[in-house]
Amino acid sequence: MPSVITLTSDFGLCDGYVASMKGVILGVSPQATIVDISHLIKPQDIYQAAFVLGTTVRYFPPETVHLVVVDPGVGTERPALIVKTTLGCFITPDNGSLSYVLKPYLVSPLPVKSSVSVRTGFKDEIALEVIKVTKSGFLQSDISNTFHGRDIFAPLAAYLSLGRKPAEFGDEAETIEMLPLSSPQKNADGSLTGHIIHIDNFGNLISDI
């Protein structure tokens, strides 16, 4: 039985982009179970994608494959990554979209966007393995400069859900991009000053406290 595959993107729902990715996945793995986390992320809003993913992942089985495509750098030299952890396997551009997933496992907090060492920057309990995708044999034959979600990430998700190992698709990456995420400030009187980090669909304000 293939592992569950989740999809998170900023593609919206009025075009055929999401369906195209699902079609590619089903072409490789016809029995795949595909769950949409969200396709209504604001265009190119990596922070929102990271937050939505980070608040959702823990409810899925640890063998789940999570595909994340919010990719302002599509068509550039930014790497495509497969990130294996104890929480699941993630396929994503190297742009910080896993920041909320990985934040609890950082050895040190980050004041600015940083390339964090895979070997020394994270606690051992997350069992982090990061692969930079370099092998094209598993991908679509004609890769679009603007639709890596369909041509690169979707076939990778399908093969990984069938039990292929991340190392089959590329080489170990030394670093992974992480976004700086706010934390509450402790005041002299013992109180905390927090920051609004997300507003949900009902208008609820979510803070970092």
Whether residue 202 is contained in a domain is answered as no
Q: Please report, as a single letter, which amino acid is at residue 101.
A: V
pLDDT at residue 139, as a whole number? 75
The Cα diameter of the chain in Å comes to 62
Q: How far is CA 196 from CA 51, 204, 207, in A?
A: 12, 10, 4
Query: Residue 8: in which H helix or E strand, if any?
Result: strand 5-9
Q: Vertex 176, ends 170 and 178: CA angle to 5°? A: 150
Give all strands (DSSP E) within 134-207, no chain letters.
170-172, 175-178, 185-186, 192-193, 196-199, 205-207
Which residue type does 181 have?
L
Q: Are 80 and 98 in contact (CB under 8 A)?
A: no
The domain total for the chain is 1
Structure tokens at 179: 């976004």
Report the distance separating Cα 80 and Cα 93, nearest Å. Answer: 5
* pTM for this entry: 0.91
Distances (CA, A) of 84 to 10, 50, 173: 23, 16, 12
Residue 183 included in any domain: no
Decide if 150 is inside a domain: yes
Cβ atoms within 10 Å, residue 159: 20
193 in a structural domain: no
- Nearest alpha-carbon partner for 53 in 144, 181, 166: 181
Task: Please indicate, yes or no, if residue 47 is contained in any of the structural domains.
Answer: yes
- Would you state the pLDDT for residue 76? 80
Residue 89 lies in domain = 5-178
pLDDT by residue for the chain (209 residues), tens only, comes to 889 999 999 999 999 999 999 999 999 999 999 999 999 999 999 999 999 999 999 999 999 999 999 988 887 888 999 999 999 999 999 999 999 999 999 998 887 788 999 999 999 999 999 999 998 777 777 777 778 889 999 999 999 999 999 999 999 999 999 998 888 888 888 888 888 988 888 999 998 88
Which domain CATH number covers 44? 3.40.50.10790
Answer yes or no: are the C-beta atoms of 38 and 52 closer than 8 Å: yes
Q: What are the tokens at 93?
A: 């551009």
- In the prediction, which pLDDT does 187 show? 87
